[in-house]
Structure 1
Amino acid sequence: MSEPSASASIEISAPPERIYELITDLARVGEWNAECVGGKWLGEVKWAEPGARFVGSNRNGARRWRTHNTVTAAEPGRVFSYHTRAAGVLDVAIWRWELTPSGDGCRVEHMTWDTRGAFMRVVGGLVTNVPDRATHNGVNIRKTLAALKQHAERA
C-alpha cells in the first residue's frame, strides 16, 4: 500500500486487546476521537469483522456529517481497518489502526489514505469546512491518540 496521507503512533500502557475493544466500540468512540463522535453498526453484523458496515457521525465545529464504512480488516488486538464512503458510494478514505505489543502495553499506529477524487475533494472540503484534509487529519490523529492513551490508561 502507498504511504498514508496522515499517520501517527503512540505508546499506551494498556494491552492491545483493550485498545482494540475501545477503537471498535462505535457507541463510545466520541469519548476520545477528535472528529468522529460515534457510530452505529448496520445490518445483521454488530461487531468488527471484514465486510461489516457502519455509519460514522462526525463533526468539525458546527459542521456535522455522516460516513458509510465497510470493515476491511479486523484482527482483535492487532488490526482494525475500514473503507469510508460518502453517501455509501463515493470514495473518501481508508482508515487503519495497527496495534503492536510492547513493554507494559502496546504501540498504537493510526493512519489514513485519502481516496477521494477531484469532485469529492471539493465537495468534502465544503461540507466539512476542511480544505486541507491531510493536515487536518494529521492533527486530529495525534489528538485522538493522546486522548485514547489517557482514556485507556486511567481505566
Structure 2
Amino acid sequence: MNESQVSESIEIAVPPSVVYAAVTNVADMGRWSPECTGASVKEDGARQEVRPGMKFTGHNRSPKRPWSTQCTVTAAEPGLKFTFLARGVGLRVALWSYRFEPLDDGRATKVTETWIDQRGWFMHVIGPKVSGIHDRATHNRQTMQVTLRRLKETLEKEHQSA
C-alpha cells in the first residue's frame, strides 16, 4: 500500500460540539464539499448517533461521473474526533479524519481534516478511470480547502443568527 496523507485546518467561531455535529451528519456533507454530494446511513429510522462501526455509503461526483464508497466509522468522540474508512468494491480507498480542538475557551474550534490514501495498486489503477482524478492528493487538498471554508461560512452564519 502506497500511503500519502493530506491535512488542512481552519478556525471556526463556533464551539467544537456544533462543528462535530455538523461534520458527523454525513448526509449533509454535500452542503460543503465540492466532490461529496452526501451520504446514506445504513441504519433504519431517523439520524442515528454516530459511533464506531456505523456504516454509510458516501456519494461523490466528479466532472466525469458519480461514484460511491462504502464507509465504516472507526472513531467517534463527540467534540474531539471523527474518523471513517472508505472502501470501493470492497477494497480500501482512504481513511478520512476530522479533529476538533477548542479555542477561545471553547467558543471556537480549530478543525483539521485529514485524508490518508489507503489504495493498493489495483485501486490506484481503477480510481482515476472511475473519478477522472489522476492526482488524488492535490485534488483532495483543494477540495478540503473548499469544504472547510464552506463549513466555516455556514456554521458561523447559522450560529450568529441562533
Superposition TM-score tier, normalisation by shorter sequence: over 0.9
In the alignment, which residue of structure 2 is the partner of 1:128? Answer: 131
Rounded Cα–Cα distance in structure 2 between residues aligned with 1:23 and 1:133 = 22
Alignment of 1:83 onto 2:88? no
Tell me the equivalent position of 1:26: 26
> What is the percent sequence identity of the aligned residues?
39
TM-score computed with the length of structure 2 as normaliser = 0.89
- How many residues end up aligned between the 2 structures? 152
Greater shift, 59-68 or 12-21, is seen at 59-68
The equivalent residue for 1:40 is 40
Give 1:46 deviation, angstroms.
3.0
The answer to whether residue 140 in structure 2 is matched with residue 137 in structure 1 is yes
Segments ≥4 residues shifted beyond 4 Å: none
1:116 is paired with a residue whose SS is: coil
After TM superposition, the score normalised by the length of structure 1 is 0.93
Question: What amino acid sits opposite 1:111 in the alignment?
Answer: T
Secondary structure of the residue aligned to 1:112 is strand
Alignment partner, residue 93 of structure 2: 92
Do 1:51 and 1:71's aligned partners in 2 also have CA atoms closer than 8 Å? yes
Q: Matches of 2:30 and 2:43 in 1, distance apart?
A: 22
Larger Rg: 2
User: Is 1:17 paired with 2:17?
Assistant: yes
Q: Answer with 117-126 or 42-51: which moved more.
A: 42-51
Counterpart CA distance in 1 for 2:22 and 2:51 is: 15
- Cα pair distance change 1:137/1:118, threshold 3 Å: same
Residue deviations 1:73-97, cap 9 Å, x none?
Answer: 001111000000002x111000000
Aligned-pair CA distance for 1:106:
0.6
Query: How many angstroms apart in 2 are the aligned matches of 1:114 and 1:34?
Result: 19
C-alpha contact (below 8 Å) 1:41/1:47 kept by paired residues: no
Match of 1:149?
152
Worse-superposed segment, 8-17 or 53-62: 53-62
Q: 1:37 to 1:126 in 2, by over 3 A?
A: same
Q: What RMSD, in angstroms, separates the aligned Cα atoms of the two structures? A: 1.5
Structure 2: which amino acid aligns with 1:108? V
Distance 2:124 2:71 in 1: 18
> Contact 2:128–2:134 (CA<8 Å) still a contact in 1?
yes
Uncovered stretches (5+) of structure 1, i.e. residues with no partner: none
1:52-131 correspondence to structure 2 within 5 Å: 52-87=54-89, 89-103=90-104, 104-131=107-134
